[in-house]
Amino acid sequence: MIAGIILLAISCSCSGNKQKSIELNSEADLSGLTLSTAVGNYYEHKFSKRSDVKVFAAATQADALQAIRQGLADVFVADDIEVPERTLKDLGLKVAFYGEDLFEVAYCVKKGNTELAGQFNTFLASIPVQDIIEHWTKDGPQVPDPNAGQIKNTQPLRCAVCANLDPVCYVGEGGEWMGLTPDLLTRFANYLGRPIEIMLQDLGGALTAVQTGQVDMVGGNIFITEERKTFVDFTDSYYLCHPVFVVADHGKRAHIGIGERFRMNLIKENRWKLITDGFVETIKITVLAILIGTILGMGVCAALRSRRRWVRSAAGLYGSFIQGTPTLVLLLIMFYVVFASSGLSASSVAIITFAFSFASSAGNIFNSSISTVPVGQTEAGLSLGFTPFKTFTGIVLPQALRHGLPLYAGDCVKLLQSTSIVGYIAIQDLTRASDLIRSRTFDALIPLLIITIIYFVLAWLIRKLLNLLLIRK
């Protein structure tokens, strides 16, 4: 069955090129066309206001670019720096025209952190910025960093990047961050003599994180706007940016075989390592959340069965709060509000959040499973001379398990699946690994297919393992 789905998916992804031949010279010519861009950026905002242009807002810039190849959109718009000549050539696209808007690109720091901004501005003035930009965008020569290798053992410079596209910011061989934005940040950290930590976040999340102090700087082709200035401070601009409008360039698309696609997505630049690292992260969060959540769930169950009315009400309220809130919202609240200034790692926050969420549903499952065992079973155990504890563990629990185990296993699998949202708080799990690969290879099928199979096998393993552990007969 799986093989069938794979074949179907491959054949689908190879067909369906229905691009029209378009002559475009200015933004006025966009009338009646579909424009693709990354969700939440300036262009989505701007062109959504034009009633004659349909905007296709994709989750990432890579997906937005891909939309042109898939025929989902006619024109792609992004910052000029984001689509260098080599990307266009690889994908069979061409520049239609450059927009007239002009933006100043800079880094953000926490409002009032003039010290860090000042240090950056001094640093910026001391380096050949233009050469570094040429290196990344036009394959210019490498610019040496005089401060490299001088990292001292001090507080790391924590940076969020909110772009995931060559050459602005992308994951290269061995999983390290590459591109203009990380390069400048690394040089700056070296200049300060501090180690660097880089995490990928969406723009909204990153700007929140810099306000709460979870990160020190945010970069990734961020425009200086008056609105943003009201809640964050900007460094000096290091680049002036035009919008670029991109369309399909017919007859220039190379066909890539399926073997080559696997090689590109897995072998090249050791991209399989992103998958295995993400796999470990996903497993870590899932297993720890299940373990902690199960223990908490026993507490929830005990509270639901308490003789005190207020304890029962409190447990019920907890359950309805958790179940009434989308897990993603809960995760964002925990990360950006509750634990914002605690210094806990994103992984820890994710584990705590999923454990809390799991505790509620596991507690309810335990409670209802125990309720299915008639009270007469307890009375029979007691009347034979067992203590209440031994009656519970020896007689009630085995019968409750039979009823509750399939439900419990189902919830464990549900937890595994819901961990795929941790990318929102900059954790590189399995799902995020496929995003990173996709943004480099512009191939959606292979990475998604691989992680789908991994999730499927993991879910199967969880059920198998629980059956082995808990049912002896």
Partner 1 sequence: MISIRHLSKTFHNPDGSVVNVLKDVNCDIDKGEVISIIGPSGTGKSTLLRALNMLEPPTSGQILFDGQDITAKGYRLDALRRRMGMVFQSFNLFDHMTVIENIIYAPIRLLGISDADARAEAMTLLKKVGMSQKADVYPSSLSGGQKQRVAIARSLAMHPDVILFDEPTSALDPTMVGEVLSVIRQLASEGMTMLIVTHEMRFARDVSTRIFFMNEGIIYEDGSAEQIFEHPVRSATKAFVNRIQKLVYEIGSDEFDQLDMHSGINAFCIKYNIADKAAQAISIADDMIQNHMASVRPLTFRLTYTELTSETALDFMVEGMTESPFAAGKFPDAIRAQAKDIIQEPTTRGFRIKILI
Positions in the binding site for partner 1 (CB under 8 A): 374, 376-377, 379-380, 382-387, 390, 394-395, 398-399, 402
* Residue 317 beta carbon to partner 1: minimum distance, rounded to whole angstroms: 21
Write out the two tokens for 193: 């003599």
CB nearer to partner 1: give 337 or 384: 384
* Distance from C-alpha of 279 to C-alpha of 275, rounded to nearest angstrom: 6
* Residue 390 beta carbon to partner 1: minimum distance, rounded to whole angstroms: 8
Q: Is 115 exposed, middle or buried (0-12, 13-18, 19+ CB in 10 A)?
A: exposed
CB nearer to partner 1: give 32 or 376: 376
Residues 227, 233, 236, 237: what is their CA dihedral angle, to the nearest 10 degrees?
-40
CB nearer to partner 1: give 339 or 408: 408
Write out the two tokens for 433: 């690994």
CB nearer to partner 1: give 95 or 382: 382
Distances (CA, A) of 16 to 23, 68, 249, 360: 22, 11, 16, 46
* Residue 313 beta carbon to partner 1: minimum distance, rounded to whole angstroms: 16
* Residue 463 beta carbon to partner 1: minimum distance, rounded to whole angstroms: 21
CB nearer to partner 1: give 291 or 384: 384
Residues 71, 72, 74, 77: what is their CA dihedral angle, to the nearest 10 degrees?
-130
* Residue 298 beta carbon to partner 1: minimum distance, rounded to whole angstroms: 21
* Residue 386 beta carbon to partner 1: minimum distance, rounded to whole angstroms: 6
Q: Which residues contact 405 (CB under 8 A, 6 or more apart)?
A: 466, 467, 470, 471
Number of C-beta neighbours around residue 350 at 10 A? 27
CB nearer to partner 1: give 151 or 397: 397
* Distance from C-alpha of 34 to C-alpha of 305, rounded to nearest angstrom: 57
* Residue 310 beta carbon to partner 1: minimum distance, rounded to whole angstroms: 16
Report whether 211 contacts 335 (CB < 8 A). Answer: no
CB nearer to partner 1: give 45 or 390: 390
Instruction: Report the candidate in 350, 357, 355, 345 with the shortest Cα–Cα distance to residue 331.
Output: 350
* Residue 404 beta carbon to partner 1: minimum distance, rounded to whole angstroms: 13
CB nearer to partner 1: give 223 or 386: 386
CB nearer to partner 1: give 332 or 395: 395
CB nearer to partner 1: give 40 or 374: 374
Report whether 252 contacts 23 (CB < 8 A). Answer: no
Report whether 284 contacts 302 (CB < 8 A). Answer: no
CB nearer to partner 1: give 260 or 379: 379
* Residue 400 beta carbon to partner 1: minimum distance, rounded to whole angstroms: 10
* Residue 371 beta carbon to partner 1: minimum distance, rounded to whole angstroms: 15
* Residue 407 beta carbon to partner 1: minimum distance, rounded to whole angstroms: 18
CB nearer to partner 1: give 186 or 369: 369
* Residue 373 beta carbon to partner 1: minimum distance, rounded to whole angstroms: 9
